[in-house]
Amino acid sequence: MGQIEKSKNKIKVVAPPQGYQGEGFFATKLSEVIGLARANSVWPLPFATSCCGIEFMATMASNYDLARFGMERLSFSPRQSDLLMVMGTISKKMAPVLRQVYEQMAEPKWVLAMGACASSGGIFDSYSVLQGIDKVIPVDVYVPGCPPRPEQLIEGVMKIHELVKTESLRRRYTKEYQKLLESYNIS
């Protein structure tokens, strides 16, 4: 009885994809399964340059715990990561480095800009600060704030998960995507 109650109280960590089910079977699309697997095993590359990075550290720690989403494996190697998280002020001198990191990441890859500085230059409207990382690389999700609270960052990460889950497997081969990269002079 105790065991039954335990299984009744099981917490569903990951919702199954859309599909058809009956006795002894469950059918869905391959893209749904791949999307589900990708979304729950995102490997982030934290490109943290200033205060927003500290807020990110708080988000990684036990109170907020990004590991709940399978994201505890931070990658400081671009070739082994699929989410570039840019957190902090990016100077114009650093822009080529950020771009090189982006180019070294394998497809499919996503980009999150955390905070006002990464999104738009923030309060640093000066000759030396890049006025938003989307001047040099495409961005998927912007998280507003100076700094954003961990809850806001988690909201942004969940938006990324939605994109990952629902992205067509063909998107990276489409003309629109090629055009987007060309607009950034990325081949």
Query: Does 116 participate in binding ligand SF4 (rule CB under 6 A)?
Result: yes
Question: Which tokens in the block code for residue 87?
Answer: 């957190």
HEC string for 144-161: CCCCCCHHHHHHHHHHHH
Question: Which tokens in the block code for residue 166?
Answer: 């629902």
- Tell me the closest approach of the beta carbon of residue 102 to ligand SF4, in angstroms: 19
Query: Does 78 participate in binding ligand SF4 (rule CB under 6 A)?
Result: no
Piece of the chain touching ligand SF4 by CB under 6 A; list 8-16, 48-56, 155-163, 175-183: 48-56
Q: Considering only residues 35, 46, 147, 150, which one is a binding residue for ligand SF4 as defined by CB under 6 A?
A: 147
Residue 28's identity, in one-letter code, is: T
- Tell me the closest approach of the beta carbon of residue 117 to ligand SF4, in angstroms: 3
Piece of the chain touching ligand SF4 by CB under 6 A; list 37-45, 74-82, 111-119, 125-133: 111-119
Tell which residue, 20, 17, 29, has the closest CA to residue 169: 29
* Angle (CA) 130 136 139, round 5°: 100
Query: Does 59 participate in binding ligand SF4 (rule CB under 6 A)?
Result: no
Complex with ligand SF4: residue 58 or 169, whichever CB lies closer: 58
Runs of H (alpha helix) within 61-137: 95-104, 115-120
In the complex, the residues that contact ligand SF4 under the rule CB under 6 A are 50-52, 88-89, 115-117, 122, 146-147
